[in-house]
Structure 1
Amino acid sequence: MFTLRAFARRCVAPLAVLLGCVTANAAVAAENRLQVHPFPNPIRYSHHNDDYTVRVRVPGGQWQDLYEYNVKVDLDKPQDASMVYFNFDGTVEVAVQKNNGTFSKVVVRPDAKGVKPVVRDGIAYFTLRRPQNLSVEFDDDRLHNLHMFTHAIRADMPAVPANLASNDIGTGTTPDFTQPVVFFGPGIHSGDFRLRSHTKVYIHGAAILKSPLVIDGVEDVKVISDGLFTGTDVTTIRNSRNIEIDGPIAINQPHGTMRCITSQDLVEKNIRTIGAGQWSDGLGHFACERVTIADSFVRTSDDCLTFYNHRWDIWGNTRDVQVRDTTLWADIAHAVMIGIHGNTPTPAHPQSEVLERLRFSNIDILDHDEDDPEYEGALGIMAGDDNLVRDVVFEDIRVDRIEEGKLFNLKIAYTAKYNTSPGLGIENVTLRNIHYTGRGAPSASAITGRDAARKVKNVTIENVTVAGRRLTAPEAGSLEVNEFVDGLRFR
């Protein structure tokens, strides 16, 4: 609930905040611009978390309050965390006040972002010089943290009518989906959002969508979003091509964030998601080709990123995947999971399936927790159902903590729960410049083939460290390798 103080200051937000970029005075450098998105009035109390008071300003400007959204994390024992978002160019200053109890330290993760808070009079201050997606944590509390999502100001976002005051935001106007440009303006939107081919979709930062976008059997669709999806996934992309999803934030979805099925030429960037629902995979892919994922933040209570082939009525191969510059946080399960679902040959589809040419670079993994030893692995390749997984590169990856699980697990899988046959093989995998702090309670990483016909072949481990110690050979407690592994190299 809001305090009286919070209610008073948030009842009316300046119109200039809604309409765009705010600077405090003419002396502020032109490149320092701030865009704060107001919230629709109907969610004033229902979506708020008062654990923190968060303010932001351009240097020398006036502080502006942000709306702190309540988000659920960690399905093991769901907890209430917080989330704020805003856009800016140049430099901004942030102030975070913890409203309940005292604290002795505060950190901003990922560490690699280099954001160092300073505490004055019980308030944490820090400066951002470029948009970033961050976790602010007091006294190592990762279950009641503050997620901060930022983006550059979008010059092409449609303008809002000048007569719309922020405290007038209620139900949004339903867009016209027959037009080539679709605009979700400020307000709350629900309905059947089925998109046509050759469509560009804009979602305003003060828009909240409570229904997913449906992208099915279409081509040439681009979604540009500053807005929020709550209580729903963002989209299912099925049998489509040349699709770009840029910018949505998703919270409190019952299951996953995005599911991409038998589609090609996909760009998924600036996607920020926090999910604690059952089967709440982040960005899931089934038999998709030419996929790029970039500049995203994915916190889930299931796998963050998945790449599979056959499942249900889905058939096909996975090829040419690029994932870069992204932060992953698996409260449960894996940061990356490849290959467990495929096609044990059937009369209708008599071929085995391939997942090939997947590359993951410049990734921060904030946590990994998997209680079941059969499925452990922050970086997991579990080739099942006659899948062949080959040509995979993991490079420049930083792992902060493993609550329970393995750093990596390359395995020919044959699980009672998911598989009808083991995988065909895993070939040509490189793990390069991967550094895990050693924090938490990890078990040994593993590389395991199934038998003489279903092996793991040609794995290169180059500059991989755990707690500062380099992996140079199989070793009890660090790396377990069985007899069905050929061509293992250390550099």
Structure 2
Amino acid sequence: MMQMIRKLWMVALLLCVYTLQARQLVVYPAPPNAPEGLENKDFTVKVRKPGGAWQELYAYNVKVDEMRGTAHHVQNASLCSFDFSGDVEVSVTYNKGRIETARIRPLSFNIAYTARGNTLYFKLDRPRNLSVEINGDLFHNLHLFANPVDDFKVDKKDPDLVYFGPGVHQLPGGRLNVPSGKTVYVAGGAVLMGQLLVSQARDVTIRGRGIIDFSVKEGVKIAYSKNVLVEGLCFTQCPTGGSDSVTIRNVKSISSYGWGDGLNVFASNNVLFDGVFCRNSDDCTTVYATRKDYTGGCRNITMQNSTLWADVAHPILIGTHGNSTVPDVIEDVKYMNIDILDHNELQLDYQGCMSINTGDNNLVRNVLFQDIRVENFRRGQLVNLRVFYNKKYCTAPGRNIEEITFRNITYNGSGAELSVIAGYDSTRQIRNVTFENLVINGVKITDHMKGKPGWYKTSDMARFFVGEHVENIQFK
């Protein structure tokens, strides 16, 4: 009997330890010696384990770009982050007045909340990158990043570790060149004033829960390198050029200035973006061939489990730049399980939530868009596929666009203008484009749609303009 009791106590103890490990909550400190303007006090944000004590998060100030007509207006928004596993309760108090309406996005997460006074309460059961918006305000919102628990073990005696602890760090000369074999760890509560540059290096890791200050353009830059991991940080931009085998996971890219692209790829292969959040003042993510000092095409580029918010230009853009003399190929590109929160572009030449525009004799082929949820956006097109000659950026028209699949795409909203699919001439075409389970405002678009009176053209029902030099478009 005593032996059985001991076994039961042991099982109970193990269950208790497992439960504690499964319900972790990590809150990072306010940066010591923080300069004026680093904090934003629009919101008071607290988190706790279910039924536990509330812990307040430090709210950073982050700048975003509000376009009014053709004018840019930089606004101040908020950013908070923490780590957890299991379940967590969140309270968000709006310090600027009364809550009339509220949204927690992406809407596909279906996060329920209750509002009491000027405070929202909700629960999370998994890591999420969120936008909390009060009274319809997109530009003074709360960016709330609920991360998985960081399992990296910091060994400050490791000669290959460069460690930045909580506080504000001014990088000498405004840049740290990261050599091969090094790990740079930016802890939660740390703010770097300067760029992390990985150039002609290999086997490099940059990770943590800290911030590269949002005044630093291209906060992380990867050039001519191989086997690079970037994980967990917040910054403005992270371009990857002339590189191979790059993984960028759970980063948050937010920009407010001109040419503020988020996650560019230039002439690189085997690049994975996983669980990223982009809110940018230009294209959120691009795949280009020859561009700047980088030469060649792109192969095997994947973005998955991510959220894109384009305050200006495209959420997703493929093509445009290449080498007209020695034509490039961009192929095997995938976007899967993506939420697009906004798209706002006045210029017709730069519209498209999902856009493939080939110039410079580029060939783009084998591209998959799958499980993409597009929320109502302010201005632009759902899809833009064009072989074109943009004289501002190209020296020749593109080649072809071939074998493109859109699968399980949903759009709910009223802001979309007419989408465009158009080739250039009889030798520069768009071929073999399939839309499978395209749903627009609850209506499935198929090749056999029937209207009144008579039959309607499917592309008209989808509000797609299909121009010349386009072969074999199917709506399944």
TM-score (normalised: structure 2): 0.89
Q: How far apart are residue 103 of structure 1 and its match?
A: 2.1
| 1:301 correspondence with 2:276 | no
Q: Distance in 1 between matches of 2:75 and 2:135?
A: 16
CA displacement 1:21-60 (0-9 Å, x = unmatched): xxxx999844222111112232264211111111111112
Q: Distance in 2 between matches of 1:32 and 1:133?
A: 19
**Given the superposition, is the C-alpha separation of residues 95 and 240 from structure 1 closer, same or farther in structure 2, using an over 3 Å criterion?**
same
Matches within 5 A, 1:80-91: 80-91=76-87
**Given the superposition, is the C-alpha separation of residues 37 and 325 from structure 1 closer, same or farther in structure 2, using an over 3 Å criterion?**
same
Q: Distance in 1 between matches of 2:43 and 2:166?
A: 25
CA displacement 1:55-108 (0-9 Å, x = unmatched): 111112111111111111125222111110111121111101111121222121
| 1:344 correspondence with 2:324 | yes
Q: Distance in 1 between matches of 2:469 and 2:354?
A: 20
**Given the superposition, is the C-alpha separation of residues 463 and 97 from structure 1 closer, same or farther in structure 2, using an over 3 Å criterion?**
same
Matches within 5 A, 1:138-153: 138-153=134-149
Matches within 5 A, 1:330-479: 330-345=310-325, 351-439=326-414, 441-472=415-446, 473-475=458-460, 478-479=463-464
Matches within 5 A, 1:13-32: 29-32=20-23
State whether residues 75 and 277 of structure 1, in contact with CA within 8 Å, keep that contact through their aligned partners in structure 2.
no
Matches within 5 A, 1:475-486: 475=460, 478-486=463-471
| 1:489 correspondence with 2:466 | no
Which residue identity does 1:208 align to in structure 2?
Answer: V
Q: Distance in 2 between matches of 1:45 and 1:130?
A: 33
Could you tell me which residue of structure 2 aligns to residue 50 of structure 1? 41
Query: What SS class does the counterpart of residue 293 from structure 2 fall into?
Result: coil
Query: What SS class does the counterpart of residue 258 from structure 1 fall into?
Result: coil
Q: Alignment RMSD, CA only?
A: 1.9
Query: What SS class does the counterpart of residue 474 from structure 1 fall into?
Result: helix
**Given the superposition, is the C-alpha separation of residues 248 and 194 from structure 1 closer, same or farther in structure 2, using an over 3 Å criterion?**
same
TM-score (normalised: structure 1): 0.86
Matches within 5 A, 1:66-145: 66-76=57-67, 77-145=73-141
**Given the superposition, is the C-alpha separation of residues 98 and 26 from structure 1 closer, same or farther in structure 2, using an over 3 Å criterion?**
farther
CA displacement 1:128-163 (0-9 Å, x = unmatched): 111110001112221111100121222324279xxx
CA displacement 1:298-337 (0-9 Å, x = unmatched): 0001000011011232210100011100000000001111
Q: Distance in 2 between matches of 1:186 and 1:103?
A: 34
**Given the superposition, is the C-alpha separation of residues 27 and 406 from structure 1 closer, same or farther in structure 2, using an over 3 Å criterion?**
closer
Aligned residues: 440
Could you tell me which residue of structure 1 aligns to residue 232 of structure 2? 247
Consecutive unaligned residues of structure 1, counting only runs of 5 or more, are: 1-24, 161-175, 346-350
| 1:234 correspondence with 2:219 | yes
Consecutive unaligned residues of structure 2, counting only runs of 5 or more, are: 1-15, 68-72, 447-457
Could you tell me which residue of structure 1 aligns to residue 9 of structure 2? none
Q: Any runs of at least 4 consecutive aligned residues in structure 1 with deviations exceeding 4 A, and if so which?
A: 25-30
State whether residues 234 and 248 of structure 1, in contact with CA within 8 Å, keep that contact through their aligned partners in structure 2.
no
Q: Distance in 1 between matches of 2:310 and 2:227?
A: 29
Query: What SS class does the counterpart of residue 266 from structure 1 fall into?
Result: strand
Query: What SS class does the counterpart of residue 367 from structure 1 fall into?
Result: strand
Which residue identity does 1:385 align to in structure 2?
Answer: D
Q: Distance in 1 between matches of 2:462 and 2:275?
A: 34
State whether residues 459 and 489 of structure 1, in contact with CA within 8 Å, keep that contact through their aligned partners in structure 2.
yes
CA displacement 1:198-219 (0-9 Å, x = unmatched): 1222221121111111101011
Which residue identity does 1:287 align to in structure 2?
Answer: A
Q: Distance in 2 between matches of 1:98 and 1:186?
A: 27
Q: Distance in 2 between matches of 1:332 and 1:438?
A: 18
Q: Distance in 2 between matches of 1:45 and 1:109?
A: 30
- Calculate percent identity across the aligned residue pairs: 38
Q: Distance in 2 between matches of 1:51 and 1:338?
A: 37
**Given the superposition, is the C-alpha separation of residues 26 and 220 from structure 1 closer, same or farther in structure 2, using an over 3 Å criterion?**
closer
State whether residues 32 and 166 of structure 2, in contact with CA within 8 Å, keep that contact through their aligned partners in structure 1.
no
Query: What SS class does the counterpart of residue 22 from structure 2 fall into?
Result: coil
Q: Distance in 2 between matches of 1:72 and 1:96?
A: 20
Q: Distance in 2 between matches of 1:306 and 1:467?
A: 27
Q: Distance in 1 between matches of 2:52 and 2:78?
A: 25
Q: Distance in 2 between matches of 1:241 and 1:477?
A: 42
Query: What SS class does the counterpart of residue 108 from structure 2 fall into?
Result: helix
**Given the superposition, is the C-alpha separation of residues 395 and 381 from structure 1 closer, same or farther in structure 2, using an over 3 Å criterion?**
same
